[in-house]
Every structure is written in C-alpha cells, then in structure tokens.
Amino acid sequence: MKIGITCYPTIGGSGIVATELGCELARRGHDIHFVANQMPYRLTAGGRVTFHEVRVKEYPVFRSPPYTLALAAKLAEVASLYALDLFHVHYAIPHAASAFLAREMVDYQRVRLITTLHGTDITLVGVDPSFFRMTKFSIERSDGVTAVSSYLRKETEERFGITRPIEVIPNFVDTTRFTPDRRKELKELLGIGMGPLLMHASNFRRVKNVRDVIKVFARVAEKSPARLALVGEGPERAACEILAEEYGIADRVFFLGNRREIESILPAADVFLLPSSQESFGLAALEAMSCGVCVIACRSGGLPELVVDGETGYLFEVGDVDGMSEAALALLSNEAERERMGAQARERARDEYPTDRIVAQYESFYEKTLA
C-alpha cells in the first residue's frame, strides 16, 4: 500500500506511535509518506519512508499562519504525485479536517481517510466550542476511525454522540529495543549514582501532573537515598525545578531533557511514575514496562487497561501523593517484589502489546477500509 501519514512532530504519544507505525509498515514493504511541518520525532527518512515538509506562507493579513490549509494542499499534492491509497492522520485536530479537504481535492472515491484518536484531541481540544463541530464532522466523514483504548472510544462516543464504528487498536512497543538489559551500566552512564532510581518521562504538560512527581519524590527522599530522573521538556519544567528547590531535593533531581534514545534510559529506573490526570493510553508506561520496570500511576483514562494493579504496578486516584509515595517506598525497600512486578510488566508488554501484533491489526484495518 501507499500510505500518507500526518502527525505532530513534537514529543508526545501520538507522534511517536505514528512514527514507529510508519517505519514498521515500511519494513513490511509499504511505501510511507510522512507529511508534517518538520521531521517527526524518532523518524529517519530513507528506503520506503519519505518525508514531505509543509511550508506555511507568512503574510501580514494572517494573524497566524494557515497551517491547516497548507497541510491540506500538501497532502493533496503528495497523494497525486505518488498515487496514495490512503491518508492515516494521527490526532483529530486539525489533521482529520485537512485530510478530508485533501481527499476532496484529489478524488474522494480513490483515496481513503483513516483517523486515529489519541486522547486530548477528544477529551480537551476537541470538546472546546471552537472545535467541537469540526471534530465531530471529521470523525464522521473519515472512512475509518481507530482509538488507542476502550476508554477513549467510549469518551468519543459519549462526548460527540458518535454512532459509527470505532476500532480499538492500542499502542505498541518494540520489546527487542525496550529491554531490561544493562541496568547498572546505564546508571553509571547517566551519571546519577547507583542508588534507587525513580523516573518519569513526558512532554511536561499540565495533564501529566509532573509536580506530583516532585511531591512524591520529596516524601520518598525523606526515608530513602533514592534519586529522581525526569526525561522530557515542556511548559511545566520550570515550575518543577522551582518546586525541587523549595523541597530541598534539587541535588537529587536530574532533568535529562528530551532524549531520542529513551530505550537506553528507561532500563536504569527501579520504579516509573506516571501520575497523569488524563492519559488515554500511557505509551511511556508501556515502554517502561517493556524494560522490566514496574509502574506507579493514576487510575485515569486508559491506564487501568494497561497497568494491572498489584501485578505490574500500582494505581491510585489522581492527586494521591501519599499513596504513591508509600507504594514507591515499599517497592524500593523490597527488591524481590520489585523484580517480580518488573518481570510481570515485561511479560505483559511482550504478550499483549508487541509491535508485530498491533501493526498487523493496522494493516488489516487498512485493507478492510480500502475494500
């Protein structure tokens, strides 16, 4: 198949999943064309993967660059030049609307449109009055729609009154890349000491509750020589740095920034923290689980579908800093239990969310939609 993929190029679950999916589809013999305003995170073009940059014209009349229209024009151009079979857009706003317009410009009877819903495009952005009708329209006019969790499918149906079928295809992980190997060596390479290590990775948006990560660690640090590593960048980073200073733990908190080689960092963790208030799936948690790291997270969104409470980690209500702190301390002080949970987390990632199985589901969905 010849497939055009559009996603946000910044760090975040939707962009990472889109990129990994496209690269795996290319390995399976499909021709993949990424269309975005810059090279997506984790993408390396070459072989059967081609990147097409969307350029937006600056003009004084425009209060903001018309990216949605420029994207539609570029999608239509790529579809015509390379005879695409379908567009697969990740994150509904504005990608589904742009692809709908592109399909109309090219030939709506030939090019199919598949929209994958990832989370805040439905629960936050899409329900805003400015975007509600457009989001609903784009979902209903797509030829196929997928969601990354049963939770997100239900939210979409209820919030937008959607009655059309939505296929649940979860996120996936390459368990040959994300492995538990070299844990001690990685701690040395990161330069953060050999003691117990808590870790968090995200785009530092408010919904990730990264400040709660600092609060949890502050309580843990009172009773343990542990350290905390935070991977990523975003609007909450500065506030977290200030909070660490206020708690007097700044010398034990390591801000590692954006790291492309996340699979070489996660295995160093003893416990992974993800206290998000909204998390439609939890890709970072899945990647940690594949590395044999147990997860402490909140009982929000699709996380209960991924993390089995008491088996692969622990789940708490949003904001339960005390509960998460106690669980972290218990795991750090009991290596046998921590290793048992980590092994079960690894097994769940390998058995339920391997790349081969999930990408095959996408291929099957493409074929069904094209038919």
100-116, pLDDT tens digit by residue?
A: 999 999 976 689 999 99
Give the rounded percent of residues in the chain with a pLDDT score beyond 70.
96
The pLDDT assigned to 147 comes to 97
Q: What is the pLDDT of residue 210?
A: 97
* pLDDT at residue 190 tops 80: no
The CATH number of the domain holding residue 220 is 3.40.50.2000
As a whole number, mean pLDDT of residues 126-132 equals 85
Residue 177 belongs to some domain of the structure = no
Q: Are 334 and 316 in contact (CB under 8 A)?
A: no
Q: Residue 227 pLDDT more than 90?
A: yes
* Global confidence as pTM: 0.92
Residues 165 and 309 both lie in one domain = no
pLDDT above 90 covers a percentage of the chain that reads 80
Q: Are residues 101 and 224 in the same domain?
A: no
Q: Are residues 49 and 29 in the same domain?
A: yes
Q: Do 292 and 305 belong together in one domain? A: yes
CA torsion angle 129 135 141 144 (round to 10): -150
Strand ranges of the sheet holding 31-36, from the earlier edge strand across to the other edge: 49-53, 31-36, 2-6, 86-90, 112-117, 144-147, 167-168
| Segments of the chain assigned E as strands | 2-6, 31-36, 49-53, 86-90, 112-117, 144-147, 167-168, 197-201, 227-231, 253-257, 271-274, 294-298, 313-316
What is the band of 183 on the pLDDT scale with cuts at 50, 70, 90? low
Q: What is the CA radius of gyration of the chain?
A: 21
Q: Quick one: 320 and 307 in the same domain?
A: yes
Output the pLDDT for position 184.
Answer: 65
Q: List pLDDT tens digits, range 21-54.
A: 999 999 999 999 999 999 887 787 778 999 999 9
pLDDT at res. 11: 65
Residue indicated by tokens 């317009």: 101
Residues 194 and 313 both lie in one domain: yes
Same domain? For 15 and 91 the reply is yes
Kindly state whether residues 363 and 321 are assigned to the same domain. Answer: no
Does 263 lie in the same domain as 343? yes
Residue 361 and residue 255 in one domain: no
Specify if 114 maps to a domain.
yes
Statement to judge: residues 222 and 330 lie in one domain: yes
Average pLDDT in the 242-269 region?
92
Hey, what are 93's tokens? 């706003």
pLDDT-derived band at 130, boundaries 50, 70, 90: confident
Domain count along the chain: 2
Task: Return d(Cα 44, Cα 287) in angstroms, integer.
Answer: 20
Q: Is 178 inside a domain boundary?
A: no
Through-space distance between the first and last CA atoms of the chain, rounded to whole angstroms: 13
> Do 21 and 164 belong to one domain?
yes
182 vs 233 pLDDT, higher one = 233
Question: Is it the case that residue 285 has pLDDT exceeding 90?
Answer: yes
Q: Which residues form the domain of 42? A: 2-172+354-370
Q: Are 170 and 281 in contact (CB under 8 A)?
A: yes
- Please report the pLDDT score of residue 128 as a whole number: 85
The average pLDDT across 212-235 equals 96
Checking if the pLDDT of 64 tops 90, the result is no
